[in-house]
Structure 1
Amino acid sequence: MNISLFKASLLSTSLLLAACVTSSPTGRNQVLLFGGAEMSQLGVQSFEEMKKTQTINKDPKTNAYVQCVSTSITSTLGKQPDFEQWEVVVFDSDQVNAFALPGGKIGVYTGLLKVAKNADQLAAVIGHEIAHVQANHSNERLSTSKLAGYGTQLGQVALQSTEYQEIGMTALGLGVQYGVIMPYGRAQESESDILGLHLMHEAGFDATQSVELWKNMAVAAGGSEPLEFLSTHPSNETRINNLQNEFNKLTKNNKTKPLCSL
């Protein structure tokens, strides 16, 4: 490919990006290349596969507890455009984790229930995961990965010319790794912390318990947490500071606290 074709490729990429740029719920720019129905289908397919390959918890009390917390939050969202209702599944695993997928799928690992000490803390996690879906983070991440791959192809062409060598090096290495993919991961996590805080608050849970949750997470990590600079997740300390700063923006909520207990 000659330089003229390379310039044309860059121009077409720029036009594509301009057409697909939107704003997240917090006003951050996003590039979304996929439709909601596409993402929902991917989420549903992935969830069905997980249910086939992972052990599903059958304890009625545990399931009722997780369902209560999840439903209390999802009921504040109203009707969703790409699916009828949220599905919640509890998986038997020591993982201290939970997730939500496009298409209205929520998974909670039993290991999380040992760290999230009460319904408010569990709501902080589930609210955070639902916020990823509401903010189109899966779409954004998939779109970024696709663009990174396309950028690498353009970079290989760019290296053929000293005029575009710097652009090519950026696309092939440092720029793609640190300038696009990794910071987006941290931005998405921080955004979901804030959005999730508001979701749990709107559902009637005690938002201050989100800080207690991350203190518990820090203890559970046992000092093994990776350095924030090389992680796609904010440090627990950063998360706690961000959440504490956001408390002042919460408006009074007169909604009755959900009666969810294990």
Structure 2
Amino acid sequence: MVRWIAISALSLLLAGCDETPTGRSRIAWVPHGMMAELGSDTFEQMRQFTPVTTDPAIKRLAECVSAELISALADSWPELGVPEHWNVVVFEDPVPNAFALPGGRIGINTGLLKVAENPDQLAAVVGHEIGHVIARHGNERLTQQLGIQGVLMVIGLASDGDVSNDALMRALGLGSQLGITLPFSRAHEVEADRIGLKLMAQAGFNPKQSVELWRNMMEVADDQPFELLSTHPHHESRIAVLQEYMPDAAAIFSSVPRAACTPL
């Protein structure tokens, strides 16, 4: 049995060594299907315990922005094989958060719409969160947190020990109190910013509005009890990263049709 576990572990290691959409090497051992199932289960828990908005204008805006970004995924990274259809839900929560989960789930808090002043700024946030998913940051973090023994337990190749629900939630960037976003590593956050910036530009949203969004975040950060949108890097550092990659994003934006999402 030990021999087969070792062989399976080696197979997982070889299969898990690949590159993110930005070209960074990573190791992500957990199968796609299991991450999608984890994302789906978590999303359903949130829907059970957090009220969902019934405001049709808010729902239209969230769905429009998300749909434009999802459509642009195929143009930007056709090799990823991401879900064509994503479930988008707006939660009645005053904390300005958003998140995306494996398996095609996007959650947006109503509080974010008071910070994101237009569809472009909302696209900056949602694009960033989609970036975490397509770069498989949750998978990578779960692999790092639990190690090979933990991953083998998760996928049923070993039977000893226990994997806590909190560990799984942390891997997805969520707290045990669902809906609270936890920081990914600095490398993950920077990478998600890069991916989100390119994605929003490809979708026809003005990438310069990503900087304005984070300036808005700086103004409200002191009044918020929770981490805002996985803000592990300092706001100014995040803005510096966005400005570094802005010329390429602006060039993409100038070459595509403008996204047609109606603001609130």
TM-score (norm 1): 0.75
Match for 1:37 among 30, 33, 36?
Answer: 33
Q: SS where residue 99 of structure 1 aligns?
A: strand
Cα 1:37–1:257, aligned 2, differ >3 Å: closer, same or farther? Answer: same
Which whole-Å CA distance do the structure 2 matches of 1:224 and 1:256 have between them?
A: 33
Unaligned runs of 5+ in 2: 1-5, 151-181
Which whole-Å CA distance do the structure 2 matches of 1:106 and 1:95 have between them?
A: 16
Q: How do 1:91-110 and structure 2 match up within 5 A? A: 91-110=91-110
In structure 2, what is the equivalent of residue 64 of structure 1? 60
Match for 2:70 among 55, 69, 74?
Answer: 74
Which whole-Å CA distance do the structure 2 matches of 1:142 and 1:91 have between them?
A: 26
For each residue in 1:216-248, what CA deviation from the matched residue of structure 2 results, as whole angstroms up to 9, or x when unmatched? 11111128899xxxx971110101011011012
Q: How do 1:175-254 and structure 2 match up within 5 A? A: 185-222=185-222, 233-250=232-249, 251=251, 252-254=254-256
Which whole-Å CA distance do the structure 2 matches of 1:256 and 1:183 have between them?
A: 32
In structure 2, what is the equivalent of residue 118 of structure 1? 118
Structure number with larger C-alpha Rg: 1
Which whole-Å CA distance do the structure 2 matches of 1:223 and 1:47 have between them?
A: 27
Which whole-Å CA distance do the structure 2 matches of 1:122 and 1:89 have between them?
A: 14
Q: Does the 8 Å contact 2:39/2:105 carry over to 1?
A: yes
RMSD: 3.1
Q: How do 1:9-24 and structure 2 match up within 5 A? A: 17=13, 20-24=16-20
Cα 1:147–1:114, aligned 2, differ >3 Å: closer, same or farther? Answer: same
Deviation at 1:184, TM superposition (A): 6.5
Unaligned runs of 5+ in 1: 1-9, 151-181
In structure 2, what is the equivalent of residue 166 of structure 1? none
- Give the letter aligned to residue 34 of structure 1: V
Cα 1:15–1:184, aligned 2, differ >3 Å: closer, same or farther? Answer: farther
- Give the letter aligned to residue 221 of structure 2: A
User: Identity of counterpart residues, as a percentage?
Assistant: 44
